[in-house]
Amino acid sequence: MRIGKPLLLITTPIGLAIGLYEGWRLAGGLVFVMAAFIGFLGFAFLTIVLTIRRERKQEEEKEKAKQQNQAEV
């Protein structure tokens, strides 16, 4: 993972840009539909990640409160 993750972070945007360019060459205006779909998927992924982080934070806060209550008793 030390090499794979940075490699993916660099090559994915490059691949998307090349794909959009080739889409423009092949289909012209349909590249806007492709770009909108890519944006939609990115937004969906972002909302999933933010929801998971928020729920994890809530769970950690619950655990801390539970431990503090047990320490007081």
| Assigned token pair, 20 | 């959009």
Give 29's DSSP letter.
Answer: G
Say what the pTM is: 0.69
Write the CB contacts of 12 (distance below 8 Å, at least 6 apart in sequence). none
pLDDT given at position 72: 76
| CA–CA gap between residue 51 and residue 49 (Å, rounded) | 5
pLDDT given at position 37: 95
pLDDT given at position 73: 67
* Phi, psi dihedrals of residue 2, rounded to the nearest 5°: -65, -30
Number of domains the chain contains: 1
Please report, in tens digits, the pLDDT of each residue of the chain (73 residues total): 788 889 998 999 999 999 999 999 998 889 999 999 999 999 999 999 999 999 999 999 999 998 888 877 6
For residue 40, the enclosing domain spans: 4-72
pLDDT given at position 1: 74
